[in-house]
């Protein structure tokens, strides 16, 4: 599974990354994390608010830091 984090690399982006990794680890999933910080690439992906999280190119979180429990719902 591919998890893509969109954002500037701020504290909220880092927390969203940690929460996504925690959720995947709790479910025993293998994954790769890609971090997109380029503003033009974020806009091209259709993201209007960061941080954002996409799973296999499907945006599931935008403009907030989702908890590991919320992310697990999308993973299972």
The residues that are catalytic are 10, 13
Residue 59 tokens, joined? 């945006």
Classify 42 as helix, strand or coil: helix
The pair of three-digit structure tokens given for residue 6, joined into one six-digit string: 């969109």
């Amino acid at each position: 599974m591919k998890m893509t984090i969109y954002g500037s690399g701020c504290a909220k982006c880092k927390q969203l990354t940690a929460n996504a990794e925690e959720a995947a680890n709790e479910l025993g999933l293998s994954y790769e994390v890609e971090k997109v910080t380029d503003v033009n690439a974020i806009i091209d992906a259709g993201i209007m608010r960061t941080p954002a999280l996409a799973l296999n190119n499907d945006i599931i979180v935008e403009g907030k830091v989702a908890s590991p429990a919320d992310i697990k719902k999308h993973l299972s």
